[in-house]
Amino acid sequence: MIVGKQKPLDEIREMIAGYPKVLILGCGTCVTICFAGGEKEVAILASSLRMAEKIDGKEKVFSEYTVKRQCEREFLEELDDKVKEVEAVLSLACGIGVQALAERFPIVPILPGLNTSFLGFPDAHGVWSEQCSACGDCILDQTGGICPITRCTKGLLNGPCGGTNNGKCEVDPEKDCAWTLIYQRLEKRGKLDLMRKYYPPRNFQAVIRPGKITIE
């Protein structure tokens, strides 16, 4: 899932400074699960902004709403009338949601209320760890289901570096070495021969952006 974190209140207030009427818009999927931009977070942020503006003697009107997904056009149709009533939309969605809104409402400023962090896996309640970099060239079948691009601090493709020590990363001793984990996983499966495969260095300059996928 996409993991995001709400921007500091001062930064948000600076973004909305020139807009007397603002719609705070939540998203009901990923950012709801990571407690960053769901209906509850919309209400809390709206209350905080109203209080802060009142203390400063300013008058702003904040409206609140949450759609199921901001990243899909079909869920944005219900916003047409609501957006007409405001001067800006503060989106509590990932960067994709912000861009989807900006595409549908090109005249109205769409402001990002969150910082999109990474694609995460839920380790525990309220804790997510980055597991996938969406590199577009998945080799999880060769690495025991553990992504070295993401989970190795150096993004190495051909085994551990010389700095690994007792299964820990030399950059962050609190972190498990990804390639040690891969070795242990493959050993359990009797697939250590996969460790002999060589992957040529990646030419990241050759990656075409933005990406696009079409299903026939």
Q: Within 13 Å of residue 3, how many CA atoms lie on the same side as its CB?
A: 16
Is the predicted pLDDT of residue 3 greater than 80, yes or no?
yes
- Using alpha carbons, select from 133, 90, 89 the residue that is nearest to residue 114: 90
Q: What are the E-state strand segments in the chain?
A: 2-6, 21-27, 61-67, 88-92, 110-112, 114-124, 127-132
Mean pLDDT of the chain: 90
Domain boundaries, the chain: 2-118, 134-203
CATH topology of domain 2-118: Rossmann fold (3.40.50)
pLDDT in tens, 195-216: 999 988 776 665 555 555 565 6
- In this prediction the pTM is 0.78
**What values do phi and psi take at 215, rounded to 5?**
-100, 120
pLDDT at position 210 is 58
- What is the per-residue pLDDT for 167? 93
pLDDT digits (tens, 9 = 90+) for 146-193: 999 899 999 999 989 999 999 999 999 999 999 999 999 999 989 999
